[in-house]
Amino acid sequence: MVRCLWLGILLRGADAYTARKPSIAGKSVYFLVTDRFARSGANKENYTYCDLATSADPLQPGGGAWCNGTLQGVIDQLDYIQGMAFDCVWITPVVKALDYTGYFGEDFFDVDPHIGSKETLKELSRQLHARDMCLIIDIVANHVRQMTVQPDYSPGAIKTYIGPKGINPFDKDEYFHTYGKAAGTSFEAYVMAGVAQASQSQGSDAVLTERVHEGITESWRVEGRHSKCSKDCGPENMNLTECNCFPGNFAPDCPGANEELQVQGWFGQLADLNQDHPFVRQKLLDYVKYLVEEYDADAFRLDTAIYMKKDFLKDLQEAAGVDILGETTVNNISYHASFQKAGLSGLLNFPAFYQVHGSFCQYHLGGDLGNYHLQGAFTPALPDLRKLASVMQFQNPEVRSMERPAARWPLFSSLLERAVYPNLDLLGNFADNHDEFARIGTLEWPNEEFIAFGGYYCDADSYRIKNALALMMFARGIPIVYYGTEQGLDGHQANVLEKDAMRKQGVEDKGQAFVRESLWQTRYNTSTWQYQYIKMLNEKRKELGLAKGEIWVFINNNQNWTGQSPFLYCPAPSEHEAWYDVFSEERAYLRKGCFMADNAEPKVLVRRVRMPAVYAVERISEQVWILSPGAEARAVPTRIRHRTAGSSLGS
Ligand SMILES: [Ca+2]
The secondary structure element, H or E, covering residue 240 is none
Ligand 1 centroid to Cα of residue 176, in Å, is 9
Ligand 1 centroid to Cα of residue 171, in Å, is 17
Ligand 1 centroid to Cα of residue 56, in Å, is 24
User: Diameter of the chain by CA atoms?
Assistant: 80
CB 486, CB 478: distance < 8 Å: no
Ligand 1 centroid to Cα of residue 265, in Å, is 6
pLDDT above 50 (res 570): yes
Task: Say what angle helices 333-341 and 385-395 make with each other, to 10 degrees.
Answer: 40
Ligand 1 centroid to Cα of residue 620, in Å, is 35
Ligand 1 centroid to Cα of residue 55, in Å, is 28
Rounded to an integer, the average pLDDT of 321-347 is: 96
The secondary structure element, H or E, covering residue 604 is strand 603-607
Ligand 1 centroid to Cα of residue 91, in Å, is 22
CB 651, CB 640: distance < 8 Å: yes
Mark out the alpha helices in 495-597 (DSSP H runs): 496-505, 529-544, 560-563
- Render pLDDT for 8-56 as a digit per residue (tens, 0 to 9): 333 333 456 888 999 999 999 999 999 999 999 999 999 999 987 655 5
Ligand 1 centroid to Cα of residue 327, in Å, is 13
Phi, psi of 254 (to 5 degrees): -130, 75
Least confident of 334-348, 373-387, 392-406, 584-598: 392-406
For the entire predicted model, the pTM comes to 0.87
Ligand 1 centroid to Cα of residue 559, in Å, is 42
Ligand 1 centroid to Cα of residue 407, in Å, is 38
- Render pLDDT for 476-528 as a digit per residue (tens, 0 to 9): 899 999 999 999 998 888 777 777 778 888 888 888 888 899 999 999 999 99
Ligand 1 centroid to Cα of residue 143, in Å, is 7
Confidence label for 446 from pLDDT (cuts 50, 70 and 90) = very low
* Structure-model confidence comparison of residues 452 and 156, the more confident one: 156
Ligand 1 centroid to Cα of residue 65, in Å, is 25
Q: b/e per residue, 429-450, with b = 16+ CB within 10 A? A: bbbbbbebbbbbbbbbebbeeb
Ligand 1 centroid to Cα of residue 40, in Å, is 36
Q: Which amino acid is at 82?
A: Q
Ligand 1 centroid to Cα of residue 345, in Å, is 20
pLDDT above 90 (res 95): yes
Ligand 1 centroid to Cα of residue 431, in Å, is 26
* Structure-model confidence comparison of residues 59 and 576, the more confident one: 576
Most confident of 182-196, 449-463, 534-548, 603-617: 182-196
Confidence label for 156 from pLDDT (cuts 50, 70 and 90) = confident
- How much is the pLDDT for 388? 84
- How much is the pLDDT for 220? 44
Ligand 1 centroid to Cα of residue 245, in Å, is 19
Ligand 1 centroid to Cα of residue 258, in Å, is 13
CB 432, CB 482: distance < 8 Å: yes
Rounded to an integer, the average pLDDT of 83-93 is: 98
Rounded to an integer, the average pLDDT of 110-114 is: 97
Ligand 1 centroid to Cα of residue 590, in Å, is 54
pLDDT above 70 (res 598): yes
* Structure-model confidence comparison of residues 608 and 168, the more confident one: 168
Rounded to an integer, the average pLDDT of 633-650 is: 25
Ligand 1 centroid to Cα of residue 366, in Å, is 25
Ligand 1 centroid to Cα of residue 316, in Å, is 14
Ligand 1 centroid to Cα of residue 300, in Å, is 18
Ligand 1 centroid to Cα of residue 460, in Å, is 37
Query: Residue 25 to residues 100, 191, 193, 324: CA-CA distances in angstroms?
Result: 29, 41, 45, 11
Q: What is the mean pLDDT of the chain?
A: 81
Ligand 1 centroid to Cα of residue 442, in Å, is 33
What count of residues does the chain have?
A: 651
State the SS3 of 540-555. HHHHHCCCCCCEEEEE
- How much is the pLDDT for 538? 96
CB 617, CB 541: distance < 8 Å: yes
pLDDT above 60 (res 171): yes
* Structure-model confidence comparison of residues 386 and 466, the more confident one: 466
Q: What is the dihedral of CA 532, 536, 539, 540, to 10 degrees?
A: 180
Query: Residue 260 to residues 187, 202, 239, 247, 256: CA-CA distances in angstroms?
Result: 19, 11, 20, 11, 11
In whole angstroms, give the CA distance from residue 268 to residue 262: 13
pLDDT above 70 (res 424): yes
- How much is the pLDDT for 407? 35
- Taking phi first (over 0 means left), then psi (-120 to 50 degrees means alpha), and beta for anything else, what does residue 330 get? beta
Cβ–Cβ contacts within 10 Å for residue 41, how many?
Answer: 12
Ligand 1 centroid to Cα of residue 356, in Å, is 28
The secondary structure element, H or E, covering residue 220 is helix 218-222
Ligand 1 centroid to Cα of residue 267, in Å, is 9
CB 541, CB 87: distance < 8 Å: no
Ligand 1 centroid to Cα of residue 241, in Å, is 25
Least confident of 98-102, 184-188, 208-212, 540-544: 208-212
Q: Pairing state of beta strands 427-430 and 346-348? A: parallel
- Render pLDDT for 254-302 as a digit per residue (tens, 0 to 9): 999 999 999 999 998 999 999 999 999 999 999 999 999 999 999 999 9
* Structure-model confidence comparison of residues 640 and 349, the more confident one: 349
- How much is the pLDDT for 536? 97
Ligand 1 centroid to Cα of residue 304, in Å, is 8
Ligand 1 centroid to Cα of residue 266, in Å, is 7
Ligand 1 centroid to Cα of residue 274, in Å, is 7
Ligand 1 centroid to Cα of residue 179, in Å, is 10
Query: How is residue 197 annotated by DSSP?
Result: B
Query: Strand, helix or coil at 38?
Result: coil
Ligand 1 centroid to Cα of residue 352, in Å, is 24
Q: b/e per residue, 97-110, with b = 16+ CB within 10 A? A: bbbbbbbbbbbbee
Ligand 1 centroid to Cα of residue 329, in Å, is 14
Rounded to an integer, the average pLDDT of 175-189 is: 97
pLDDT above 90 (res 174): yes
Ligand 1 centroid to Cα of residue 607, in Å, is 50
Confidence label for 5 from pLDDT (cuts 50, 70 and 90) = very low
Q: Pairing state of beta strands 299-302 and 134-139? A: parallel
Confidence label for 625 from pLDDT (cuts 50, 70 and 90) = very low
- Render pLDDT for 219-252 as a digit per residue (tens, 0 to 9): 444 444 444 455 678 877 889 888 888 899 998 8
- How much is the pLDDT for 626? 40
